[in-house]
Structure 1
């Protein structure tokens, strides 16, 4: 069956012509078309404008265009087809980029990037059923502009879920839906700075990207050490901070779990200092070797902002997150959300609400926990077999673990040697405040297959052996 070619030969073609140049017009046209083919901007089989149409577009005589086309046909860049139209030849291929303009290398073939879920397991069928129910049953008025807090249906579903599973004290009227933690933290910091907050304490080590968000909002950032029992509350008290961000259920990136004593001390600090706790509960749903630990927010709802997202549990691309807020912060942050983007997608919110209410979220998490646990177990076993002096910690939950490194191995050198073997491993260095603490590597395993984990550690061991030899 012949392929349809819409408007064959009548489209436009942008070629720059310098009329005052000493280079003949037909040669300028040849060069322009030739370079576009070499750069891949005109692909094989692309239909060029007719000689008459291109001459009219460029203000040239038809003979100039015909001469240029004929030369490019002779060189093999173009072919002239029966019917009068001209195409880019099948044999014309873009030239490889030179060293000067070569694009940066792509991601590693086996990438231990931290905290990435396995998006191939996204529950498409169940999600599609929720989408259909929302489209079939939702009143038309629901698709109009929302309040800054987001869809009530989702806030109700999330409040029920978080109170049941995470031990929060959530009410729909105290919740706000946002586009992931990046937006939520930015809006929160803006509102808090306007309210007089000046200094935020971050766990040391911690997510280095958040420091930039806090500084951009006008906050002074200080680091406080992380102990085996969680953040050092005595150091926090000495820091003079009026706001602290904690990852109490599974510290990012060390993996420490805040003890009951630490959690109680944090609440006591917040009450005594009239301060605020931002609890980032980023991956608490995935636990393997310990009992679930409730959120700090349930202990002191008026002193804790609780943040969660669907990025680790479902997929980062959904861009759905939620805050549980003290009463005084609900209205100003909802107003800031409206100014920022007029609200998150109502269709996605209502779909997620239906997905949670029908138990699909619980079923998905029950299905994913053993999958991630098996990957965690394999990674720990492979490290013990192939790199026994890489000691993993923080393995009881989440989608990543940390290994301290022996003194003869700089983390950056290990990462570079691994990258040469198409394996991505990530030094702990950026997570530390200045000066950096002990060297380590962060291994994310959620997005990998068992085969990739095993092969990746084999290649990493080979890289380490080369460094040591």
Structure 2
């Protein structure tokens, strides 16, 4: 006799719970093909439920083909593919194993100190202001929420971005050349379609590996070119057939280097002479702590530069809004060939962000965050300088961004060093982890993402590092 625990049904109707229990037994192979089920009365009596409940459950199973009835004989299990049942068993076992492994990995992520994470501090997000603007946006834009946003983004947001770039970055950009998308990964795929999937794109080495993964997943060939102190050398691009070069000239990741104006002109010359493009990733430009912000390359020649930026870094990673400015030639091609795309960011979020920018809240937020992280960085670096480990390390490229480089002044095994730290529940990445070619100059250099490092734990972490380096 089939027996089920009805105390586990929760808020489900009785018949639905019974239906699911029987269906699961059939799919798992517990109930075999052509096996006879208990009569409605037997099933009802065994579980102390009404006959109507059983009848409804059996009726649903019959409709879906899990069981069938024979007149005056009763209810029987239908023939279900044995191959499917075996597959389902294997799949369920595999899923259970994956869930166990996933839970193990989640536990491993609870680091005492994680120098590899650069998430924003919760208290720094302007929740009150954002909520106020959202409410006002609902009132002001109620008639637009029922319409689909344009593929390039709502006009109000594109205008707000263009105005912000002009006044605070010195970049003249036409709103009609701006495309808003749900994250830079989406925008990379648009670039690939505009340049052609048979294109070659050159990237910095070391560099953020996710960029090349996105390009390569779209069929593009990627070249990883080693940098000198000024970035990618122009002569490296000659005879490569590269259609574009993807760089972060104002604050390169992970080195933090700034490309000087002479190298920028050289790259622009390459782009002009080879009908190529420079993809300028300006993601970290907002957090510069000394001197004036570095002007974007797009301001030097908008016809050869695709400018990209995102609000994920300055506001929150969950705000998946990025944008790019296409040269006239490419925006024309986009409007002719790709304007069938639907907008990938909700109109409500776009209108909210447009108001946040145009009313000056975004610039005030950036200034506040810049001051906060300047002071926080100074405290982190101050703690390092006061620690015994300071005699064994150097601090590099600390004047911008939310990370700096910690160089080890000893001949160490980088992998062993990272593993010893992991054993002490400290996570750290080396600059060499972002290299495609084995570049000796980046050995013994490690990335300190300080935005998520609790000051209360830093002293202990530095003691552990010092002991390992003894």
Distance of aligned partners of 1:99 and 1:249 in 2 relative to their CA distance in 1, 3 Å threshold: closer
Partner of 2:435: 432
Distance in 1 of aligned mates of 2:389 and 2:438? 27
Q: How far does residue 105 in structure 1 lie from its aligned partner after superposition?
A: 2.8
SS in 1 for 2:213: helix
> Which residue of the other structure, out of 12, 19, 43, is the alignment partner of 2:17?
12
Aligned to 1:259: 260
Is 1:441 aligned with 2:442?
Answer: no
Deviation at 1:168, TM superposition (A): 1.6
1:401 to 388, 399, 404: 404
Cα contact 2:15–2:57 (8 A) shared by 1: no
**Residue of structure 2 equivalent to 1:171:** 174
Distance change (3 Å), C-alpha of 1:172 and 1:105: same
The alpha-carbon deviation at position 292 of structure 1 amounts to 1.3
- Shifted more, 129-138 versus 171-180: the winner is 129-138
Q: 1:418 to 1:120 in 2, by over 3 A?
A: farther
Mean CA deviation greater in 339-348 or 329-338: 329-338
Q: 1:138 to 1:275 in 2, by over 3 A?
A: same
2:320 is the alignment partner of 1:315: no
> 1:162 aligns to what?
165
Q: Match for residue 104 of structure 1? A: 104
1:52 maps onto 2:49 in alignment = yes
DSSP-derived class of the 2:255 partner:
coil
1:450 matches 2:451? no
Query: What is the Cα deviation at residue 418 of structure 1?
Result: 2.2
Deviation at 1:398, TM superposition (A): 0.7
Shift of 1:429: 2.7
Task: Kindly report the root-mean-square deviation, in angstroms, between the aligned alpha carbons of the 2 structures.
Answer: 3.1
Who is 1:222 aligned against? 223
TM-score (normalizing by structure 2): 0.76
Q: How does 1:348-427 map to 2 (within 5 A)?
A: 348-384=349-385, 385-388=387-390, 389-427=392-430
Displacement after TM superposition at 1:19 (Å) = 4.3
Is the contact made by 1:115 and 1:444 (CA closer than 8 Å) also made in structure 2?
Answer: yes
Q: Is the 8 A contact 1:290 1:396 kept in 2?
A: no
TM-score using structure 1 length: 0.76
Is contact 1:111–1:424 with CA below 8 Å preserved after alignment?
yes
| Distance apart, 1:124 and its partner CA | 1.0
CA contact (8 A) 1:305 1:326 kept: yes
SS of alignment partner, residue 318 of structure 2: helix
Distance in 1 between residues matched to 2:464 and 2:330, nearest whole Å: 53
1:379 to partner: Cα distance: 2.5
Check the 8 A contact 1:204/1:223 in 2, yes or no.
yes
* Per-residue Cα deviation, 1:245-278 (whole angstroms, up to 9, x for no partner): 1101101110011112122222222112221000
Q: Tell me if structure 1 keeps the 8 A contact 2:116–2:429.
A: yes
Q: Secondary structure at the match of 2:49?
A: helix
Structure 1, unaligned runs of 5 or more: 27-48, 60-96
